[in-house]
Amino acid sequence: MNYGKIGIRYAKALFLTAVEENVVEQINNDMLILQQLITENKDFVFFLHTPILKPSEKKNFFKSVFNNQLQPLTLRFLDLLTTHRRENRLGDIIRNYHLLYLQHNNTVSAKLITTLKANETMIATVTEKLQAMLNKKVLLENKIDESIVGGFVLQLDDKEFDASVKTQLQKVKINLINTSMIK
């Protein structure tokens, strides 16, 4: 079975239950906590993926470590994942839950890639223009990538607007090569 499909299926189930229990925001906060752990703690990632530990041991770990930190629904969900040996898909589930959460709140996530940190005015301007264009709230993240040389790259969902100097130089190079081949 496709792991992406598993992540989507479990995320939808969690999201729908969160809507029913009116804890969508709290569960999203829990997912952010778990995502941070996955990102920053290699031991936690190993724990999620190791088949050596029994499901009961993993369940006990989740209860003892997260009992007072996470919502009861999140704890029940981690228990369910562990029962079905899907805890290793937690990262995919978190990403899919977050997408459902953004969609639910009429929000999109975008990334502005620049060579230097964008100032507040630029971030505000790009955010306002995107919000007006999309008629949705926009969460804009600024990522720094010196390899683009200058300009910017804007990523929104699966679309990318590349106005970087690097890309412009590549286009010029291709045109020069094509022009020299024609003669």
- Give the model's pLDDT for residue 3: 55
**Listed residues 103, 127, 149: the one ending a domain:** 103
Q: Is residue 111 part of a domain?
A: no
* Residue 158 confidence class, pLDDT cut points 50, 70, 90: confident
Q: Is residue 63 part of a domain?
A: yes
Which backbone phi and psi does 111 adopt, to 5 degrees?
Answer: -125, 125
**Listed residues 77, 103, 129: the one ending a domain:** 103
Which backbone phi and psi does 99 adopt, to 5 degrees?
Answer: -65, -40
Same domain for 96 and 11: yes
Q: Is residue 145 part of a domain?
A: yes
Give how many domains the chain has, as a whole number: 2
pLDDT tens readout for residues 95-125: 999 999 999 999 999 999 999 999 999 999 9
pLDDT tens readout for residues 136-156: 999 999 999 999 999 999 999
Same domain for 78 and 24: yes
- Give the model's pLDDT for residue 1: 39
Same domain for 56 and 99: yes
20: domain CATH number is 1.10.520.20
In 55-72, which positions are buried (b, 16+ CB within 10 angstroms) versus exposed (e)? eeebbeebeeebeeebbe
Task: Let me know: does 95 contact 31? Beta carbons within 8 Å.
Answer: no
pTM of this structure: 0.80
List Cβ neighbours of 90 (8 Å cut-off, separation of 6 or more): 34, 38, 48, 81
Q: What is residue 183's DSSP assignment? A: -
Report the C-alpha gap between 124 and 100 in whole angstroms: 25
**The tokens of 122 are what?**
């630029």
Task: Let me know: does 152 contact 160? Beta carbons within 8 Å.
Answer: no
Q: Are strands 151-156 and 159-164 parallel, antiparallel or unpaired?
A: antiparallel
Looking at the chain, how many residues does it have? 183
Same domain for 47 and 130: no
Domain that holds residue 127: 117-182
Q: Is residue 109 part of a domain?
A: no
